[in-house]
Amino acid sequence: MTEIHPRHSLLRPHIPMLSGILRGIEKEGLRVDAEGALALSPHPPDLGSALTNPHITTDYSEALLELITDTHDSVPRLLGELSDIHKFVAGRIGNELLWNQSMPGHLPPEPQIPIAWYGTSNSGMLKHVYRRGLAERYGKTMQCIAGVHYNFSLPEELWSILGTEGGNEVERRSKGYLALIRNFTRFSWLLMYLFGASPAVSRSFLGDSPHDLQTLDSDTLYLPHATSLRMSDLGYNNQDKAQSELQLCYNDLETFLQRIYDAVTTPWPAYQAIGTHRDGEWIQLNTNVLQIENEYYSSIRPKRTVERGERPSSALAARGVQYIEVRCLDIDPYAPLGISAETSRFIDTFLLFCAVEESPFFPQNGFCRDSHDNFSLVAKEGRKPGLMLTHRGRQLSVHDWGTQLLERMREYASLLDAHEGGDTHQQALEVQIKKVQDPELTPSATLLRDLREQGLSLHEFTLRQSRDHRDTLLGTPLDPDVEQALSRAAAESLIAQAELENNDTESFDEYVARYHAGLLRPATAA
């Protein structure tokens, strides 16, 4: 009988290659006042321009900061830079705090929630009008949810070692990352179980909307076995009918791009009824299913760096996939940076596993209903005793499937440790195995237990945590050279924004038309 070698054994002779793994973080966090209410103040000028500062910007709401690291070849360097940016921000937002929870605390009425502002340049107005469109389509409350985005790339030679097919490096790389994404889609329910940290919400988040949540206290609603309400149909996956009918395909890049293209060029009746203008002002970029590619919310995205004004899908079509972005991680309320080194090391292990293991194409025109349903079920009921998921047409418990997956990851953790020395990845894996054995060790269970034992609402608990984390960050001075570099970047970004505003030579209407015209029709899938 021919011996079948496991896929991870292909990497064992090439351990030095793992130094080419790069990871970066985009960490969101709401600015709140001293009592935890949403900050209504403009983006602080000491943080530079939200449009042009490469390290500090805003996401949907003006109060939703996004802190961006460079890419790094080690977890300590990655989190070292993220810590530096956090310290810089904490020291320059006065009495305000960074809210260290994915779900917002006390929110004002929707009309008072400020939409992110990027100045009067055409590129800045494009970002602002896009967000106006999001408010029209989904409401402003949704713009106050925060998370941690984890960017990850693998060394080019990996795809050849794995025997990934393709006529050139660009094709092999794109096919390799899409295979990673398919496995991620199959197994990402596990990340919700292990790291979901939003089992509860403040009442103000839901307002008068109907829901099936239970009452924890006068200010807090929850589900007893939920892991991540942020990633449930109460949060980011609470998409209207337009997005719910959009089913992307990760079997090949051409089909993926075609479906994105169709979504950003196909009108949607409800959005046509809204129109693009109100009282002479732009309120959305168009009336299509998606205004732009990034409007489609998914737990993972194939990515490629773009030039200013370039469409993301056009960049992917021209130069292929460069890295992936994991978007489903909740903010860790117990970590000052919103993510711990232990979590980062496990995510590296998980993603390497997804990249190397066999990854068959999805049936049903590229959409995997079972994976979608498993993810949604774990987000709302992941710690329910005996919870069953669908795996290869049969029912398998969270405990059994989770244990199987984590055991298969042992060799990948070992490979990463062999490269770096020590056993930190294996230690991180052991922590996750314990969570599968005992759901009470998960962050979602820990958070609910702390709320009950301490007699605090989610708002009160998160406010205390956010204050403590600020004090921890500011308790260690920022290196003077780093502080000078971040200050210089902030000052230079303000100059860069002013130059953009002064150098615009076309009207915004013309700019929007040219931006839409830059969307290239993708090649037909084979």
Q: Which residues lie closer than 8 Å to 323 by C-beta, 6 or more apart?
A: 22, 151, 152, 153, 177, 303, 304
Would you say residue 132 has pLDDT above 90? Answer: yes
Domain residues for the domain of 180 are 7-517
Structure tokens at 498: 């002013």
Q: Is residue 254 part of a domain?
A: yes
Would you say residue 2 has pLDDT above 50? Answer: no
Rg (CA), the chain: 23
Q: Which residues lie closer than 8 Å to 145 by C-beta, 6 or more apart?
A: 102, 103, 104, 230, 235, 236
Q: Is residue 61 part of a domain?
A: yes
What pLDDT sits at residue 167? 82
The helix/strand/coil state of 367 is coil
Q: Is residue 276 part of a domain?
A: yes
User: Where would I find the beta strands (DSSP E) of 363-439?
Assistant: 388-391, 394-397
pLDDT tens sequence across 406-450: 999 999 999 999 999 999 999 999 999 999 999 999 999 999 999
Answer positive or negative: Cα dihedral of 267, 271, 277, 281.
negative
Q: Is residue 1 part of a domain?
A: no
Structure tokens at 388: 């069953």
C-alpha 260/C-alpha 469 separation (Å) is 40
Structure tokens at 48: 């530079």
The answer to whether residues 182 and 316 touch, using CB atoms and an 8 Å cutoff, is no
Q: What is the mean pLDDT of residues 310-327?
A: 94
Q: Is residue 522 part of a domain?
A: no
What pLDDT sits at residue 237? 55
Q: What is the mean pLDDT of residues 178-186?
A: 96
Q: Which residues lie closer than 8 Å to 391 by C-beta, 6 or more apart?
A: 370, 401
How far, in Å, are 248, 295, 363, 515 from residue 262 at the CA level?
A: 11, 13, 21, 16
In this structure, the dihedral spanned by the alpha carbons of residues 498, 501, 502 and 504, taken in order and rounded to 10 degrees, is 150
Contacts 24+ apart (CB under 8 A), 385-391: 387/225, 389/189
Window from 71-80, 238-247, 490-499 with minimum mean pLDDT? 238-247
Q: What is the mean pLDDT of residues 79-83?
A: 98
Would you say residue 5 has pLDDT above 80? Answer: no
C-alpha 273/C-alpha 512 separation (Å) is 20
pLDDT, averaged across the chain: 94
Confidence label for 155 from pLDDT (cuts 50, 70 and 90): very high
Q: Is residue 197 part of a domain?
A: yes
Residue 441 burial (CB count, 10 A): 14
DSSP string spanning 428-492?
HHHHHHHHHH-GGGSHHHHHHHHHHHHT--HHHHHHHHHHHHHHHHHTSPPPHHHHHHHHHHHHH
Enter the DSSP assignment of 16.
G
C-alpha 464/C-alpha 458 separation (Å) is 10
Nearest CA among 27, 26, 24 for reference residue 74: 24
C-alpha 520/C-alpha 265 separation (Å) is 11
% of the chain residues with pLDDT over 70 = 96
How many distinct structural domains can be found in the chain? 1
The answer to whether residues 74 and 38 touch, using CB atoms and an 8 Å cutoff, is no
Residue given tokens 């498993």 in the structure block: 374
% of the chain residues with pLDDT over 90 = 87
What pLDDT sits at residue 239? 53
What pLDDT sits at residue 238? 53
Structure tokens at 292: 């732009």
Q: What is the mean pLDDT of residues 477-486?
A: 97
C-alpha 261/C-alpha 243 separation (Å) is 14
Phi and psi torsions of 216, nearest 5°: -90, -45
Helix extents (H) in 51-116: 75-90
What pLDDT sits at residue 282? 98
Cα-to-chain-centroid distance, residue 71: 16
Q: Is residue 329 part of a domain?
A: yes
Partner residues linked to 31 by β-bridges:
98
The helix/strand/coil state of 127 is helix
CATH of the domain at 493: 3.30.590.20
What pLDDT sits at residue 3? 42
Structure tokens at 202: 């403040």
C-alpha 303/C-alpha 515 separation (Å) is 19
Would you say residue 186 has pLDDT above 90? Answer: yes
Residue given tokens 């292909």 in the structure block: 10
Contacts 24+ apart (CB under 8 A), 424-428: 424/75, 424/341, 424/345, 425/345, 425/346, 425/348, 425/349, 427/342, 428/342, 428/343, 428/345, 428/346, 428/349
pLDDT tens sequence across 278-308: 999 999 999 999 999 999 889 999 999 988 7
Would you say residue 198 has pLDDT above 60? Answer: yes
Q: Is residue 2 part of a domain?
A: no
